Amino acid sequence: MCQAAARKTATFQPRFPLRESPEDLATFATHRNFSVPGTLTEVAMILDGSLLATTIQGEIREAVARHCAEGHPAPVLAAVLVGSEPASEVYVRNKRRACELAGIEGRLVRLPASTTTAELLDTIEGLNRDGTVSGILVQLPLPRGIDSHMVLDSIDPAKDVDGFHPVNVGMMLQGRPRFLPCTPLGILHLLQRHQLPVAGKHVCVVGRSDIVGKPLAAMLMQRSGPLGPDYANATVTVCHSQSAELATITRAADVLIAAIGQPRFVGAALVKPGAVVIDVGINRTPDGLAGDVDFDAVVRVARAITPVPGGVGPMTVTMLLANTLAAARRQTNLTAGA
């Protein structure tokens, strides 16, 4: 039973992408005690991912309600958690809470740390065959001894709402995506909702992970994307641990995205004045959580910057919900056409 169906849906149209006006942005920045560059106080605009995630999750909740009002079951996201690693427990709990608020059913499949690769593959195969499950995610990292690549490859690409399956990665590279990885997609929405286009701009991605750096670079260089050509068509440079003259490269970037897992690595000396800075990192330090960017220093150099926490992280979870709804709609259409 879809509880969200009780909400009003008659006039709802999905609103993302939404374009705020410059006046809205100035009002928002003032509310956060920052101002838009070019006004009296030259301090970076804060790209508040928590606030934006709340807005988009509300839109998703309405879209789910409409989906259910049309007679379809609520989308179902199955999360597989192997072991009891504390950080993974927190991440899964946050995802389940977000599902509940959006009207999506979250199912937790909990397995012991002693689970073998074969046993985990059997579990995933069961979820693949379960017609009530819209999307599947396997919480990473997996315990030592489990073949992560084999596990992720075993998920039905039509239910791979994380966007990690090789089939979905290949479709993304060809510019015809089924699901886009959640963190890169969340970053695009942060840029779009704050009217920070990347077309024709030099974007530097620091980090080459399969989860963020590589797919984000590929999405940014496409001719168009989920939010249109203004949020694609970038000239992209990817830097990594073997990049020479790193500061020379990063200081040439109009948009600098840090995703390396090194606390406060990106200081003001690595940032071009007036650049947009996106901090993907979330690192546990003796002083608490810290991003890959030295926020206190860079906030006085950049045009706009994401905080940690409260920047990219909430958007990642939100895009997972959006992908789950998209999977449910696609499966409904396939069933209707059968």
- Residue-wise pLDDT tens digits, 119-128: 999 999 999 9
Q: Sorting pLDDT into bands at 50, 70 and 90, what band is 29? A: very low
Per-residue pLDDT tens for 170-228? Answer: 999 999 999 999 999 999 999 999 999 999 999 999 999 999 999 999 999 999 999 99
Statement: residue 25 has pLDDT above 90: no
164: amino acid identity, one letter? F
Statement: residue 41 has pLDDT above 60: no
Chain-centroid distance, C-alpha 49: 10
d(C-alpha 19, C-alpha 234), whole Å: 20
pLDDT score at 101: 94
Q: Give the mean model confidence (pLDDT) for residues 272-294.
A: 96
Out of 48, 57, 139, 254, pick the active-site residue.
Answer: 139
Is 95 annotated as catalytic?
A: yes
Coil vs helix vs strand at 76: strand
Q: What is the DSSP letter of 35?
A: -
d(C-alpha 96, C-alpha 77), whole Å: 9
Please provide the distance, in angstroms rounded to a whole number, between the alpha carbons at the two ends of the chain: 24
**Rg, C-alpha atoms of the chain:** 20
The H-or-E segment that residue 326 falls in is helix 312-337
Q: Give the mean model confidence (pLDDT) for residues 29-54.
A: 67
**Sign of the four-CA dihedral 53, 34, 19, 305:** negative
Stated pTM of the model: 0.87
Out of 48, 57, 95, 294, pick the active-site residue.
Answer: 95
pLDDT score at 110: 97
d(C-alpha 169, C-alpha 165), whole Å: 6
Beta carbons of 191 and 161 less than 8 angstroms apart: no
Q: Token pair of 312, please?
A: 């990219």
Out of 57, 159, 160, 162, pick the active-site residue.
Answer: 162
Is 139 annotated as catalytic?
A: yes
232: amino acid identity, one letter? A
Coil vs helix vs strand at 275: coil
Statement: residue 59 has pLDDT above 50: yes
* Total number of residues shown for the chain: 338
Statement: residue 34 has pLDDT above 80: no
Statement: residue 77 has pLDDT above 80: yes
pLDDT score at 335: 64
Statement: residue 261 has pLDDT above 50: yes
